[in-house]
Chain A
Amino acid sequence: MSKHPGSAQTVESAPAPKPRAPASGSPATGRACGLEVISLTKRFGDFTAMDQVSMKVRPGSFHALLGENGAGKSTLVKCVVGYQQPDEGSILIADREQQVRSPREASMLGVGMVYQHFTLVPHMTVAENLIMSRIDTPQFINWRQARVELEAFMQRMPFRISLNAPASSLAAGEKQKVEILRQLYLERRFLILDEPTSVLTPNEADEVLGMLKEMCRRGEVTVLMITHKLREVKAFTDSVSVLRAGRYVGGGDTDDLTTEDLAELMVGERQPPAAESRAARGAGRTVLEISGMRARDDEGVPAVRDVSLSVSAGEIVGIVGVSGNGQKELVEVLAGQRHAENTGISVQGQPYRARRSEMIRHGVAILPEEPLRNACVPGMTVADNMAFRVFDRAPYSFMGWLRNGQRRKRAQELIKAFGVRTPGAESPIGKLSGGNVQRAVLARELTGDVRLLIAANPVFGLDFKAVREIHDRLREARDNGTAVLLISEDLDEVLQLSDRILVMYEGRIVYETTRDQAQVRSIGKHMAGDHA
């Protein structure tokens, strides 16, 4: 978090404040105000999340911010709304340089944000939710007066929502509209939306985006929308900026850019690494087969809509996709952590219901994302956590009795073999660092006869060395004949490791290619929902 006072800022803080009210800007503007960022940089430790990003959003335009996971989009908007402070660079709101130190300051400047997930209080009515969100909510609310004002406000809005309806009774699209209404009620002139349509059906999405477009056209507000969906970009927005790996890589008027151009900007011109010079493996026996899996997410919305795939011995199949397209639920069903309407899983030709006996018989291992949360008991010791797969088998137990000595001895061997840095086998695993927790889980899952390995974002949040180590382990498992299913949000990781690549979008596998024929551009297109 090194701050460099006065490096880039001194250059940019010079422009004389123009004595011009934001409302009387260019002819297209009503109340809407523009945004410009100049050489914005943000570092987290050694990692540069955003590197010298400069871009401009015209007042009254509907602007899309495109990029893969981790491209720096969230960092950019967090700096604009004051959740984070940029290390370098400057932010101009309505042509004035501003230091946005907190979300409250951003809202004073008329900048507001709508999040991916709803922030309404479910049991309160729409009216109450709106009033409550005001910074200056009085101690005592004169409801009669407030209601008159609210109704007058609603009259000016392009759509109506019953003020008396409890938020919990609204459909997803209506909730999203109330979120947007609330920003307008708070008199925001610049709106940032973080994947506003990820929780909406396509029809709801079209309605909400159409309404936003109309409001931009009338100059009431400027919209900056983070999205992954090229279709929405093409259909609704005026202009677009693309970030990749923390840098601004291009953009312009939406009309001048094709979806191919956008996909290429998003994923870059990476070539999949040349096929390794190994003797061509004959496709091994099919180990994992899924046919027609369907499962719902925590809210009961279908998340995995119809997934069929197969993984053979000795290959890595990578599933890539923007997060939130059902990958998490797919992994949870495979791991036995989520009930599915139709699992359709078979392993080595036999139906598989993620029972312990089946896991042992078929040699199934799972590396879930966030291992401390999904695969460990933080309060139990490292030795105990390493024994989850074997504690009830000889020689670690005898007739239902635990043999602590055996368990500890095995843990000590694994700690050494996998280089887990821990004060001892008897320390609670919750006290270890992320990389060491992952190593401990890796040691547990990869020891023994593993014929099917399912890995979900296995290197998320780990440092370079740990990443390489874990990737080597996955390759090694593959070379030893294990069938590996890798689910990742990181396209580079999938390209690097996989023999076959599948793209998951809205709960379905929409594209499949082999590594040799992989074209990054078409993978990117499918990740962004363009299946033409």
Chain B
Amino acid sequence: MQAGTLFLHARRAGSAAVPPVLALLAACVLFSLFLLVQGISPSAVFGNIYDGAFGSWFSWQNSMQRAAPIMLTALCVAITAKLGLIVIGAEGALVLGGLGAALAGLALQGWLPPLGAQVGLLLAGAVVGGLWIALAGALRHYRGVNETISTLLLTYIAIAVLNHLVEGPLRDPASLNNPSTFPLDWNVMIGEIPGTTIHWGFGFAVVACIVCWVLVNRTTFGFAARMIGGNPQAAKLSGIPVGRVLLLACGLGGAAAGLAGAVEVAAVHGAANSSLAVGYGFTGILVAFIARQNALAIIAVAILLGGLEASSGVVQRRMDLPDATLVVFQGIAFLCVLASEAIQGRLRMPQLLRPREAV
């Protein structure tokens, strides 16, 4: 019985993985065509991507480091997607979460022990990010504003707020080229996982993914969220407080993205500045869709995409290709994944892979 269920789970996971894998392969083919047109050897480019991403322990660590914020922003997309929402504004929650974390860190350092300040700044980042996406959730629930559009626009507002503050009232006069807030003390910075150069943010992100998976699949809250996502009418019929669950889920998703910002500030930049808005939030959308909103799959996909981002420097240097080349690849991959979602159920899957039909 136990082995049977396990087999069933494995088979289900396997068949769920088929469409995105096929989509990624299709994206590789299209990207190769794109390179061939320019007279560039695809095999050389893919070789360099591999070297840059997973060719050595050094590049592995680099990939995992970059995977951390991507995982967290992907969670923001995935949790809200369980309720049938398409939230694309994790970037905004990340940016404001980073700003909130920097301010909390600056306020707390000195009169709290370093560990306390660290906890405080991470919490602050999560709270700010959570409120930001919960705002979009409230607009959706109470005013019927489309959450996809509102989160996109809120992202631009968030970036503008960040730029305004770090170039104005919160600017450290010493930051000349890249206007920033005052830097955090070295001892409140988040360190590395022992024996590696990967910062603890990666650990937080992996834990967050596992927690999120458990939340969605093993708790009554997740059950209610899946009911709402599957059929709001049925959820209302059962008396599920739709608004409350929706706001809570948006808050949790936003908190994950805000935590990503906090980690970027406290483990990488040391201060809040415009380097926070480098597109991790948008890569997170791609990751969540490839992972089909499964929090555990997000871990692996985020490392893959983190690797792609990490390799961009190598590709640029060795092949003398513009930075945007790999952005093109990401774009193609996203289109292929969306297309594969759209044609799902219209194309017949091979008999072996199809779950057994009801009698």
- A interface: dominant SS: loop
Number of interface residues of B (CB under 8 A): 25
Closest to A382 in B: B358
Tell me, in angstroms, the Cα distance from A357 to B220 when the chains sit together: 15
A389 to B230, CA, bound (A): 16
Asked whether any CB of chain A lies closer than 8 Å to the CB of B221, the reply is yes
Could you say which residues of chain B place their CB within 8 Å of the CB of A378?
230-231
- Which A residue sits closest to B357, measured CB to CB? A431
Q: What would 20 more interface pairs be, CB under 8 Å, given A356-B240, A388-B234?
A: A336-B237, A336-B239, A355-B241, A356-B239, A356-B241, A360-B239, A368-B237, A374-B234, A377-B230, A378-B230, A380-B230, A392-B223, A400-B220, A401-B219, A402-B219, A402-B220, A402-B222, A426-B8, A428-B358, A432-B358
What chain A residues lie within 8 Å of B221 (beta carbons)? Answer: 400
Closest A residue to B8 by CB, please name it: A426
| 3 tightest A-B CB contacts, nearest first | A356-B239, A377-B230, A431-B358
Would you give the shortest CB distance from A371 to chain B, in whole angstroms? 9
Assembled-state Cα–Cα distance A188/B221 (Å): 58
Minimum C-beta distance from B231 to chain A (A): 5
Taken together as a complex, chains A and B put the C-alpha atoms of A388 and B241 apart, in Å, by 13
Q: Are B230 and A423 in contact (CB under 8 A)?
A: no
Docked-complex contact A422 and B358, CB < 8 angstroms = yes
Residues of A within 8 A of B8 (CB): 426
Q: Does A366 contact B (CB under 8 A)?
A: yes
Chain B 154-171 near chain A by CB (<8 Å), digits 1 or 0: 000000000000000000
Cα–Cα, bound, A492→B314 (Å): 78
- Chain A 234-276, CB-CB to B under 8 Å as 1, else 0, gives 0000000000000000000000000000000000000000000
Give the distance in Å from the alpha carbon of A336 to the alpha carbon of B240 in the complex: 10
- In the bound complex, how far is the Cα of B283 from the Cα of A199, in angstroms? 49
Interface size on A, residues (CB 8 A): 37
Does B205 interact with chain A (Cβ within 8 Å)?
no
Asked if A366 contacts B237 (CB within 8 A), the reply is: yes
Asked if residues A423 and B218 are in contact (CB atoms below 8 Å), the reply is no
Please determine whether B231 and A376 come into contact, CB atoms closer than 8 angstroms.
Answer: yes
Bound-complex Cα distance A392 to B222 (A): 11
Instruction: State whether A391 touches B234 (Cβ < 8 A).
Output: no
A380 touches B220 (CB 8 A): no
Known contacts A388-B227, A423-B356; A373 and B233 CB within 8 A of each other = yes
| A residues less than 8 Å from B236 (CB atoms) | 335-337, 354
Interface centre among A337, A366, A389 (most CB of B within 10 A): A337
A400 and B219 alpha carbons, distance in the complex (Å): 6
Q: Is B238 an interface residue (CB 8 A)?
A: yes
Q: How many Å lie between the Cα of A402 and that of B240 in the bound state?
A: 16
Which residues of the partner chain B approach A74 to less than 8 Å between Cβ atoms? none
User: Closest CB-CB distance, B70 to chain A, in whole Å?
Assistant: 27
A432 CA to B224 CA, complexed, in Å: 22
Q: Roughly how many angstroms separate A183 CA and B237 CA in the complex, as a whole number? A: 42
Q: Does A427 touch B at the CB level, under 8 Å? A: yes
B237 interface neighbour in A337, A421, A432, Cβ under 8 Å: A337
Report the Cα distance A423→B222, complex, angstroms: 25
Query: In the complex, what's the smallest C-beta–C-beta distance from B292 to chain A, in angstroms?
Result: 13
* Bound CA–CA A421/B359 (angstroms): 9
Cβ of B66 < 8 Å from any Cβ of A? no
Q: Does A284 contact B (CB under 8 A)?
A: no
- A377-B226, A432-B358 known; A355 vs B237 contact (CB < 8 Å): no
Interface string of A418-455 (1 = CB under 8 A from B): 00011100111001100000000000000000000000
Chain A min CB distance to B246 (Å): 15
* A332-351 with Cβ < 8 A to chain B: 335-337
Q: A402-B220, A427-B358 are in contact. Are A377 and B237 (CB under 8 A)?
A: no
**Residues of B219-267 whose CB lies within 8 A of A:** 219-224, 226-227, 230-231, 233-241
- Using CB atoms, name the residue of chain A closest to B229: A377
Closest-by-CB residue of A relative to B221 is A400
Residues 139-156 (chain B) with a chain A CB within 8 angstroms? none
- A-chain residues with CB within 8 Å of residue B226 when the two chains form the complex: 377, 380, 384
Does B220 lie within 8 Å of A392, measured CB to CB? Answer: yes
A-chain residues with CB within 8 Å of residue B357 when the two chains form the complex = 431
Tell me the complex Cα distance, A289–B226, Å.
Answer: 33
Q: In the bound complex, do residue A377 and residue B240 qualify as a contact, i.e. CB atoms below 8 Å apart?
A: no
Q: How far is the CA of A336 from the CA of B356 in the complex (A)?
A: 36
Residues of chain B contacted by A432 (CB below 8 angstroms): 358
Task: Note all chain B residues with C-beta closer than 8 A to A380.
Answer: 226-227, 230
Q: How far is the CB of A383 from chain B (nearest CB, A)?
A: 12
Judging by beta carbons under 8 Å apart, are A377 and B227 in contact?
A: yes
A99 at the binding interface (Cβ < 8 Å): no
Q: Could you say which residues of chain A place their CB within 8 Å of the CB of B224?
A: 392
CB contact list, A355-405 vs B, under 8 A: 355-360, 366, 368, 373-380, 384, 388-389, 391-392, 397, 400-402
Q: Shortest Cβ distance from B356 into chain A, in angstroms?
A: 7
B contact residues around A373 at 8 Å (CB):
231, 233
Residues of B within 8 A of A377 (CB): 226-227, 230-231, 234-235
B147 to chain A, nearest CB (A): 20
Q: Bound state CA distance, A358 and B240, in angstroms?
A: 11
CA distance A222 to B238 in the complex (A): 50
